[in-house]
Amino acid sequence: MALEVKQPAEWLSVEAYLQGELSSEIKHEYIDGAVYAMAGTSKNHQRITANVSGEFWTPLKNTPCEAFSSAIKVKVGTKFFYPDVMVVCNEDGKNAYYTETPVIIIEVLSKSTRRMDETAKKFAYQSLATLKEYVLIEQDFVDVEVCRRSENWVSRHYFMGDSVTFESVGVTLSVADIYDRVENEDVSSFLLGEVQ
């Protein structure tokens, strides 16, 4: 989801932010007292989010893990973000509107969110003790970047023709399935090559 970067009018407490989100028609992210409105997303962004979260549902059924997409917040210290997709395992259920214990977080990149997703969010998310994988998925071209705690957060990239194993949840997806119905030049070229 795109972050609309506007200078906040004033500092807001965590309690006021959480209360406001319950009645707000627009989602906001909270960073150390500042609140930022979330902008809308593209169809490609939604397709990727739905493809990944949808593929997680069946393998995670009857397990202690559950997938969420962009409507549930993750709390990191004094920050609250809305990841595009995340999986939480063995949740204690303390809060119905956010979690502090995801095992994997996936963000779909856009021009407006790339800098925040690749820097501030990446460092914040990696500070979560439960997080095992952080995934960045491009929407304008094909590139799935996976950073794993077990590999010291070194980036691994996956492209059309590859499969990605999300070790934290034991799910393997083809890059083609992640980009199903996505309209960009890389996907079109790959599909054209399959037809020929």
What is the residue extent of each domain of the chain? 41-195
3-state secondary structure of 99: strand
Q: 164-179, pLDDT tens digit by residue?
A: 999 999 999 999 999 9
Residue 124 Rama label (left phi>0; alpha psi -120 to 50; beta): alpha
3-state secondary structure of 183: coil
pLDDT at 28 over 80: yes
Which residues pair with residue 145 across a beta bridge? 136, 157
Q: 29-81, pLDDT tens digit by residue?
A: 999 999 988 877 899 999 999 999 999 999 999 999 999 988 899 999 999 99
* Residue-level pLDDT at 3: 46
* Residue-level pLDDT at 193: 66
Q: 139-162, pLDDT tens digit by residue?
A: 999 999 999 999 999 999 999 999
Q: 73-116, pLDDT tens digit by residue?
A: 999 999 999 999 999 998 877 788 999 999 999 999 988 788 88
Q: 184-194, pLDDT tens digit by residue?
A: 888 888 777 66
Cβ contact 139:131 at 8 Å? no
pLDDT at 2 over 90: no
> What CA dihedral angle connects 98, 66, 183 and 165, to 10 degrees?
120
Q: Taking residues 9-22, what's their average pLDDT?
A: 88
CA distances from 111 to 50, 108, 139, 149, 193 (A): 20, 10, 10, 26, 28
* Residue-level pLDDT at 7: 47
Domain boundaries 41-195, corresponding CATH code: 3.90.1570.10
